[in-house]
Every structure is written in C-alpha cells, then in structure tokens.
Structure 1
Amino acid sequence: MANAAIPIQLATAETHNGMVIPYIALRHLDGTPEFGQIDHDRVAECLIEQRCQLCAQPLADAAVLMVRPMDFGAGHCPEPAQHPECAAYAIRACPMLSGRLRRHRDRTRPQRRQCTAAGCWCGDPVTPDLDAIVRSGQPATPWYSVWFPMAEYKLKMSARKGPRGISLAIINVKIRLVSWGDPDRDDLGRVLVYGLPLPEAGSGS
C-alpha cells in the first residue's frame, strides 16, 4: 500500500521511507527510527508539557487520543495526545491503526542490530515492558480515537514514576472506532461495559 499523503501541517516533519517519524518514536544513534517502540523520556515530556506525540508542537484547543479497550478499563491513555490533523494522518499511515497489521509484532524475540553506531541501544536491546510482552504476537486489539477539549486535559500520576498517562475521566468527549482488529473475550467485554462503538454492518472494520 502506498504511503499516506503527508498533510501541510506536517510538511516540515522528519520522515523515514515516506512516513512521518513520531516525535516519541525510539531512535537509533544513527537517526533511524524504530517504529512501534517509544522513547519513554519523550513520552513523559509530551505528557507533562501538553505536546503532540507526532509533531511535538503544543496542543491547542482540542486533542485526540488513540485508545484501546484496556485503556478505558485502566482509566487513562498511556501515550500522549495528538493534534486532530496529526491524528488523522496517523490513522491513515500507521499499519496498526489503519487495520493493515492484523497482529502485534513479537517483541519477545531478540531484535537484530539495526545500526552500526557505537553505543546504540540496539547493541543491547531494551527489555520490553509488560504491556508489550502481553501484546506480542497477539491479534490486533480494537482502537478508538477520543477527541476532547484541552480544558479537560488531566494527567494520571504515579507516586514513583511520574505521569502514567492522560486521564479518560472526560465529560465532553467524542469517541470513534478507528480499527476493529480481532478482539478477544476480554476486549469484547470492555467494549460492551463501556458502551464503546461497534463496527457498522458491512463496514469491514
């Protein structure tokens, strides 16, 4: 599938193989992005400073979160929000959000070295977090976009590790199904319990 067209708002963004590199994406020392893995320091920066995870610019009047059923259960989204136009691009460009990737990548297998820069993390790959281990190789989960006004932006904090994510205790919110994936029983239960949108008949989601 051809790469999604990059909108004018992201015209100056850094790209790799025709795709915009999210600001929070983990990078090798040679500059190559590792799509699907995040830089936790940049995630915390965006959460605290209310910046977009894709372009790193300050969020304005409204923002969009990409949320899984399990996140609704936890009460917060662990990743930073995005500008509405950045989120629209991400939905088209990301294989998982667009529904092109039917399973999560297996993060439990040793990753081959990706670059030749001395001292890069890929010479001693980072240990996947628990969430990545649980999802590795599993069918894709449903994804929802959650639009909300920045007036209701609130972080959920942990005592020792700083911000855990953005609170989903939002009143003025618009929730849309982005990709249905192949939900298991637990996800289906969460979808029903939280009254989340279901695929429309014949939608192919």
Structure 2
Amino acid sequence: MPIADVPRPRGVDRLPVDHRGYPVPWFAAWLDEDDNEVPPGQGKPEFRVVGSDRLYRALTLARCWICGLPTARDVAFVAGPMCAINRTSAEPPSHVECADYAARVCPFLTHPKATRREANMPAGEDPPGIMLRRNPGVALVWITRRNAWRLRRTGDGGVLCDIGEPTETRWYHAGQPATRAQVDASIEEGLPELEKHVRGTNERLELARLIHRASRHLPKDSAA
C-alpha cells in the first residue's frame, strides 16, 4: 500500500517529512555533512541513528518513541517476532496508533527482502541485548498497559525494556496483516540465533517454555 494511502495518526502528522515522503520519527537524529548531530529540522535525518537525548526523554518523560508526544494508558512496542519470545525491546514504547502506522509503512518492516543499510553508517554504539540484524519479514505491534512494562539493566551497562504481558498483538507482513504461516517461518529462521546463547538443559527448557508462551499471541489462523 502506498504510504500516501495510509492515514497518519495525529502525532505522526506533525512530524517533518523526508525527501521520499516518509515522516521522520521523533527518535531519529539529524546530522550535518560531517555526521555531527544538529537540531531537529537542520541537516538531514538519519533514521538509523537515535538522537542523543531521545532515549532519556522517552523513558523519563513517557514520550512516544515515534511522534514524541506524551503516551496514554495503552502503549505499544514495534518489534520483530523474536521479541514475543524473550519479551524485550531495545526501544521504548509508542502510542498504539503510531506503532501500528510504523509497522505498516516503515520501508525496512514492509519490504521483507530489504536489508539494513550499513554503508556510510555513522559511528555509534549497538543497542544492548542480542540484536538480530536480519529482516524478520514480519512486524509485531505488542500492545500493553503503560504500567505493565519495566526497564531492566543489562550486563553491558545499557537498558532494555521488559515489554510485559500484552493486551493485544497485531502482526504485519509487507504492510498487511500477517498469516500464521508467515510468522511461524520468521520465528523458525530467527531461533538459531537465540539458541546460540542457550547453555545447558535448564536454559533449553526455559527457551522451550518461552516459545510455548509466545505461541498464545501468534495469529490465530492455522500454519501452512
């Protein structure tokens, strides 16, 4: 679906637009020609880089990660399917409508064969936790209460969001509702990376339990 045909939520509609017609998310950094960060609206937006104060403001002021406005009682995380298993996200939550919009129009999320652009990537730190750099092919909108998720410190000094118990999950493939078969295929492809970090019988059993727990929140149609 062309981006112009997807209605913009109120918060997204106030964001600046890049040369392609995509709204620039609030979290994105703006950089000059030397990759130095400049005030929003100056230079060029870099969707792959988080602005220097964005994580702090999102977490301390309860700002929507996508539009920057204060969040409501219900929030949503935009994630890959593996986050339904480990229930963690490196990104703070957004308004439900903003998260849903991002899952439907983000170029990386809506083009399953797209790869992350690493060329000319400005210097920066990788997010905490285990990052899967593959394109998962499906996008998950994990809706929960604002008081249901928690911050967790990681061993490397970063923070992750424990995304809590969902009140609803929405799954998308190429901007449209995903089938159970599409989600199952994405999980099967991503599991080997998680399994690399599993040690011993107890951890294998725990991973199996987490996979079973996640299955309750997958699309309801039967797998092919």
TM over 0.5: yes
The alignment's C-alpha RMSD in Å is: 3.5
> Which structure: greater helix fraction?
2
Task: Determine which of 148, 151, 154 is the counterpart of 1:152.
Answer: 148
Whether the aligned pair in 2 keeps the contact of 1:26 and 1:37 (CA below 8 Å) is yes
**Unpaired stretches in structure 2, ≥5 consecutive residues:** 33-41, 174-181, 196-206
Any residues of structure 2 matched to 1:43-192 within 5 Å, and which? Answer: 43-98=55-110, 100-107=111-118, 109=119, 111=120, 125-127=122-124, 129=126, 135-136=132-133, 138-158=134-154, 161=157, 164-170=159-165, 172-179=166-173, 180=182, 183=186, 184=189, 186=191, 192=211
TM-score, normalised by the number of residues in structure 2: 0.65
Q: Which has the higher contact order (CA 8 A, sep 6+)?
A: 1
Which amino acid counterpart does residue 24 of structure 1 have in structure 2?
F
Q: Is 1:13 the counterpart of 2:8 in the alignment?
A: no
Aligned residues: 185
Aligned partners of 1:134, 1:148: CA distance in 2, in Å? 22
State the AA in 1 paired with 2:13. Answer: A
Q: TM-score, normalised by structure 1?
A: 0.70
Name the CA distance, whole Å, in 1 between partners of 2:70 and 2:127.
30
% of aligned pairs identical?
Answer: 21
Q: After superposition, what is the alpha-carbon deviation per residue over 1:147-169, rounded to whole angstroms, capped at 9, x for unaligned?
A: 1121324222347745x232123
AA partner of residue 33 (structure 1): P
Distance verdict in 2 for CA 1:6–1:61, change over 3 Å:
same
Asked if structure 2 preserves the Cα contact closer than 8 Å seen for 1:77 and 1:165, the reply is: yes
Partners of 1:106 and 1:94 lie apart in 2 by 14
Superposed displacement of residue 54, structure 1: 1.1
CA deviation after TM superposition for structure 1 residue 186, in Å: 0.9
